[in-house]
Amino acid sequence: MSKLRQALEDGKFVVSGEIGPPKGTNLEKCLEDAERLRSQVVAINVTDLQSAVMRIGSLVVCSKLVERGLEPVYQLTCRDRNRLALQSDLLSAWALGIRNVLCLTGDHPILGDHVEAKSVYDLDSVQLLNAADTLNQGYDMAGHELDGKPDFFLGAVVTPAADPVEPQIIKMGKKIQAGARFFQTQAIYEPSKFEQFMNQVQKFEVPVMAGLVVLKSAAMAKFMNSNVAGISVPDSIIVEMGETKREDRKKKAVEISARIIRKVKPLCQGVHIMALGWDELVPEIIREAELD
């Protein structure tokens, strides 16, 4: 059983982190970032061509983490593969020792660095969850029996700050029916809205980990508000970041992140910290948020 699965099933408050594979074959910094998280988090998400930018694959980076005794969450998107390749990659992941999978639809190529790329989307995130769950039961999507089956701990994403939020809640229910056993959310910055969301989804009785992107600047916050669906950074935080001197931004990022985590901790089962290259701040955030 994966450590993430065990911790959530034991009712512990869980912290996970995230790293992005490099654009190239040099894994040194990527693996260094993962090492910084070793004693801080239960599991480490590895993104799958995040924002539709071409990079080395999530699968190989996850396998490298397994080799080092770290627990990855294999992010798998539907954008680039048909159902044959998705099922094959899942079986490959299990054979490599990967036990956690986060199933995603994936950002459209128009958002990335190869805008001429043809998207696949043979499956969506709900169908991918169902395919992975079917593999867990020992069969492929065509109904053929497997010679050896995986037992993935399957996860999905949800966006609490979506407006309207009702479609997200409906889809969350569908994802649970398809096999999702835990959720990580899109980044949240308004604990009061997150509380309203959690009150609506507590009926599902599935662990929810609140997502948090560590803010680096007011400009970053404004960019996310304008370009990232489902993220809403309040004006008060943007002003707070804008009034912070450049040399004090990391300290302010820790302060804001920890403040939000303290407020959402009573509402959920964990937090997923996306440091976006500022991984050295994660220990400070955890300490300030009183999670250690």
pLDDT of residue 285: 96
Question: Over the stretch 13-34, which tens digit does the pLDDT of each residue have?
Answer: 999 999 999 999 999 999 999 9
Identify whether the C-beta of residue 78 lies closer than 8 Å to the C-beta of residue 126.
no
Question: Over the stretch 199-241, which tens digit does the pLDDT of each residue have?
Answer: 999 999 999 999 999 999 999 999 999 988 889 999 999 999 9
Q: What structural domains does the chain harbor?
A: 3-214+265-280 (3.20.20.220)
For residues 228 and 271, give the distance between their C-alpha atoms in angstroms, rounded to a whole number: 20
pLDDT in tens, the chain (292 residues): 899 999 999 999 999 999 999 999 999 999 999 999 999 999 999 999 999 999 999 999 999 999 999 999 999 999 999 999 999 999 999 999 999 999 999 989 898 899 999 999 999 999 999 999 999 999 999 999 999 999 999 999 999 999 899 999 999 999 999 999 999 999 999 999 999 999 999 999 999 999 999 999 999 999 999 988 889 999 999 999 999 999 999 999 999 999 999 999 999 999 999 998 898 999 999 999 998 7
How many Cβ atoms are within 10 Å of 140's Cβ, its own excluded?
17
CA 89 to chain CA mean position, Å = 18
Looking at residue 44, what DSSP letter applies?
E
Sign of the Cα pseudo-torsion (173, 175, 181, 186, in order)? negative
Q: State pTM to two decimals.
A: 0.95
Tokens encoding 62: 């996850």
